[in-house]
Structure 1
Amino acid sequence: MKNLVLAAALATALSSVSSDVQAADSSSELAQIREQLEALLQRVDRLEKENNELKSQNESLRATDEKLLANDDYLKSEARGLRKETAQQAVEVNKTKGADWASRVAITGDMRYRYEMITDDTLSNGQKTADRYRDRIRARLVATARPTDTLTVGIGMTTAENGDPRSGNQSLTGVFTKKPFDLDLAYFDWRFADWGNLIGGKMKQPFVKPGQSLFFDNDITPEGLAVNVQRGMFFGTVYNYWLLEASGPENTRTADTMLHGVQFGARMPMGSSSLLMLAATYYDLSAAVGRSPFYNGSGNVNNANGNTVINLAQPPAVNAVLVYNYEVVNLSAEFNTLFGAVPFQAWADVAQNQDPSNHNNAWAAGVLFGKATNYRTWELGAGYQKIEKDALFAQLIDSDFAGGFSDNNGWVLRAGYAPVRNWILNATFFLNHRNVDVANSAGQTEVEYHRLQVDFNVKF
């Protein structure tokens, strides 16, 4: 390139020199021409140098552009990979969240179909009560969640007739009417220390009951607050439950009827396969005298379930109200061992109401062989009970024994068999007497009351 430019410059210079020689031939003019030629050559050198620099810059820019293009392709590839990885991680996070939720929530329940036959010799309008036959169902569903490692929340539903606190049974009647499904549990259970829990709401019974004791009906879910403690072999419970909330003007009685209680006990190992449980319980029914803290309201003496009441004339209704406080001391024992591979249990329960001086004692005892739980397991049990008229607050006692009334005694015979896991067949026979110490309104004492129950139970 430089040679071409130089040749052109020389041709131009020679043409100019020839023309200038013909016009003038002095030496000064030749010197001037030489200077012009040198200046032209210097300019050509500068242009050549600048051209080379531009070539170098162009090559550098081209290399940079290629590098940028390569980086762009790499970044695009990395972005695609990151998007895929992020999507996979999101799926895994969702799976983890789902698994975590599933591990913290449990759904349990059971369904029971029962055939029941009742014979009651209590006179009704001067005649013996007719034998009764009925089929009944009970369905329960409970959701238990653990929002944190120390907090459990439970919500449960059950069938029940008119909200009966002592029964989840629903009789098959009413021309196929829909059956109610009521709130049975709604509680929190906060483990505030490794030795204690605070429970609040409508809860499962937090205290310990020995064996098949019927001093407290199994279907009752008390309402209020309770604290459970466990320290080694020792345990205890303190509770405060609401029965009736009252309101009204200042000149009326507005104290709420409540149930306060405390239990302390111990589970003591006795050898390698035996355990003895001993417990002492005290409960006090406060603000109850002169009140009707009974299921199904007041107005009927039978609502007191056998406890002593008086009728207060309060037109237009006559209300049956309690005569005594229920300040009950209860001692319990349960012994568990093995006869070979067969579980054996013996238990006893005694109680006394401190307020009345008569008809204030209760006791029960029984045995149970086997345990119908797993595949092809069985159980056989027998128990005897006597509850005097005012020994216990009868609103709480078992609703099946003697029809749920105090002033009773008699036997309970049990049998159970599990053909498969979570499926149990049970039969229970109550051979009881009602009005053992105090005559009923018809003047009867020692009234026979028999009840047969055959159950088909499925748990899940």
Structure 2
Amino acid sequence: MAKNSLKWLALAGVVALGATTVSFAQDSGALLNLLAKKGIITDQEAEDLRAELTSEFAANTSAGKLDMSPSLTKFKIAGDLRVRYQYDNEQANPAGAANNMDRSRYRYRFRLATTASLGAKWTAGLRLESNTGATSTNNDFASGTDNFSKATDAVQVGQVFIQYNDTNVIGADAFDFRLGKFGHKFFNPGVNGFWIDSDINFEGAAQELVYNNLIANSWGLSLRAGEFMLNSNSTAGAVANDPSFLFIAQAELANKQWKIAPTFAAFAAPSAHDAGLNAAALANDTAVYTDLATFLVPVEFSTTLGSKPFAVYATYGINLEGEDRARRLAQTNTVDDDATLGNFGVRYGATKLAKEYQLTAEYRYVGNGAYSSLLLDSDFNGGYLNGEGLIVSGSYNITDSINATVTYFNSFNIEATRAAGGSTNRGNGFGQAQVLQVDLSAKF
């Protein structure tokens, strides 16, 4: 009688286990084998139970109807969506113009990601994103030519990559290698990212080595590198038929309170990349990949204030080619060049669980030759150089998965006498820009 009870208990346990995982056959099989080995059930009873459970699982559960690849050990689906109201004056208001060009925009963002584990060390990833531009993941409501148009609601492949993870590579506790199109792992403190816009997906290869408790059993070291393509090698005509690259290297030293991460970012373009281009083309900050060799030092100190997390962060950077970059973008040798950039911010609270909130205030400064608008956060100063200003943000978790955030950006030219730049000569700055964003987001 007791043995029969144990059999029914085993059956109930296997059913519960199988109902909670896609890898049903592997999990239930291992448990049945263990029960048979312990003598609780016979080998024949184990086979009968396995056949019965497999049949029940396939017939009565939606997961059982999925035909999964035998190489798949885990499959995850996750996503997020956001509805946003945005006010901005990021369009020119000519003197004496009859109409005010300030904008009120109603926008949305959607991202859906899948990751497939292919054994203990390999993963493949794919993420679809709403898209209206090179880096933007926002679409505007009511932006079509017809009412309720679906023609402008584009979805693109935002990420597609293969990832390899291991341990004890060059003595490291963890090793991560990615190839394809993916998000980055560089330490980059700031609202929406600072020196890397949070919407950017890099294309190329990235590596990370992590050494835990390297110094005095409390400091860890993370070494990161990325080799990212900026253009393909299929261009023709006067432009060199070779790709240009962005190289980033970072060494982060961290303990429970401190993070400091010296970083170097540089463009590497073929020597003839700009051959035959006229002055206007050379001033294009997002298409000519030269004059960037920026050294950055992001730092963060974290503690608690009262019962909530509190952090102070800052970044200082200088472009070793800043003089040449500023003068090339301005197309004059008389410009006052500024090769430095930086930010300083404070952050209070956290939004991990329901009813938690976070407040952030940040100051930013980006000189006209300090960096590239190809990488900067596009919500601040239009993503241009020659800008400084303030950002304030407040965020509140309505539930664990629903969040409300309000963010205000206020920026203006550092060199106020320079005419604001356009879509190409972004080294001149945007002039001034005020942006208000009100977001309601969901994650799943």
TM-score computed with the length of structure 1 as normaliser: 0.69
Q: Report the Cα distance in structure 2 between the residues aligned to 1:145 and 1:369, rounded to whole angstroms.
A: 36
Letter of the structure 1 residue corresponding to residue 299 of structure 2 = A
Contact persistence 1:211–1:346 (CA under 8 A): no
SS in structure 1 at match of 2:89: strand
**1:233-264 deviations in Å (ceiling 9; x for gaps):** 10011110001013367986223111011110
In the other structure, the counterpart of 2:208 is 228
Match of 2:300 among 313, 334, 338: 334
User: Does the C-alpha gap of structure 1 residues 248 and 389 become closer, same or farther in structure 2, counting only changes over 3 Å?
Assistant: closer
Indicate how the Cα distance of structure 1 residues 403 and 180 shifts in structure 2: closer, same or farther if over 3 A, else same: same
Give the C-alpha shift of residue 192 in structure 1: 3.3
Match of 1:343 among 294, 303, 309: 309
Q: Judging changes above 3 Å, is the alpha-carbon distance between structure 1 residues 123 and 429 closer, same or farther for their aligned structure 2 residues?
A: same
- What percent of counterpart residues are identical? 22
Structure 2, unmatched stretches of 5+, are: 1-41, 168-172, 213-219, 324-336, 423-427
Moved more, 350-359 or 233-242: 350-359
When structure 1 is superposed on structure 2, of 318-327 and 350-359 the one drifting more is 318-327
Q: Which residue of structure 2 lines up, in the alignment, with residue 238 of structure 1?
A: 225
SS at 1:148 equivalent: coil
Cα distance in 2 for partners of 1:129, 1:323 equals: 36
Closer, same or farther in 2 for the Cα pair 1:319/1:342, shift >3 Å? closer
Map Cα deviations across residues 105-152 of structure 1 (whole Å, 9 max, x no partner). Answer: 111111100000112484448748611001000011001111111112
- How far is 1:405 from its partner? 1.3
Distance in structure 2 (CA, Å) of the matches to 1:290 and 1:130: 40
Larger Rg: 1
Partners of 1:191 and 1:401 lie apart in 2 by: 35
Secondary structure, counterpart of 1:332 in structure 2: strand
Asked if the contact 2:373–2:385 (Cα under 8 Å) also holds between the matched residues in 1, the reply is yes
1:189 pairs with 2:163: yes
Deviation, 1:399, is 0.9
| SS of alignment partner, residue 109 of structure 1 | strand
The match for 1:395 is 374
Cα deviations by residue, 1:342-395 (Å, 9 ceiling, x for unpaired):
110110011111113322110101011111221111111100001011211111
- Indicate the residue corresponding to 1:76 in structure 2: none
2:106 — aligned with what?
135
Deviation at 1:90, TM superposition (A): 2.8
Between the aligned partners of 1:446 and 1:169, the Cα distance in structure 2 is 21
Per-residue Cα deviation, 1:212-231 (whole angstroms, up to 9, x for no partner): 34221000010100111100
Distance 2:439 2:362 in 1: 19
Q: What is the aligned partner in structure 1 of residue 138 from structure 2?
A: 169
What is the alpha-carbon distance in structure 2 between the residues aligned to residue 392 and residue 446 of structure 1?
15
- Residue 154 of structure 1 corresponds to 125
8 Å contact from structure 1 (residues 158, 181) kept in 2 = yes
- Counterpart of 2:392? 413
Contact 1:154/1:186, CA 8 A, preserved across alignment: yes
Q: Residues 237 and 438 from structure 1, CA distance in 2 versus in 1: closer, same or farther, beyond 3 angstroms?
A: farther
| Number of the residue aligned with 1:281 | 263
Question: Aligned partners of 1:414 and 1:441: how far apart in 2?
Answer: 26
Q: Alpha carbons of 1:437 and 1:255: their partners in 2 closer, same or farther (altered >3 Å)?
A: farther
Distance 1:226 1:130, change over 3 A: same
Distance 1:373 1:250 in 2: 52
CA contact (8 A) 2:204 2:228 kept: yes
Instruction: Write the letter of the residue equivalent to 1:333.
Output: V
Q: 1:323 to 1:195 in 2, by over 3 A?
A: closer
Partner of 1:373: 352
**Counterpart-to-counterpart distance in 2, 1:452 and 1:290:** 42
Counterparts of 1:211 and 1:396, CA distance in 2:
14
Unpaired stretches in structure 1, ≥5 consecutive residues: 1-80, 270-274, 293-298, 300-308
For residues 208 and 420 of structure 2, what CA distance do their matches in structure 1 show? 43
Q: Amino acid of the residue matched to residue 265 of structure 1?
A: E
Shift of 1:419: 1.7
For residue 12 of structure 2, what is the aligned residue in structure 1?
Answer: none
2:37 maps to which residue?
A: none
- Alignment correspondent of 2:24: none
Q: Paired residue for 2:436?
A: 452
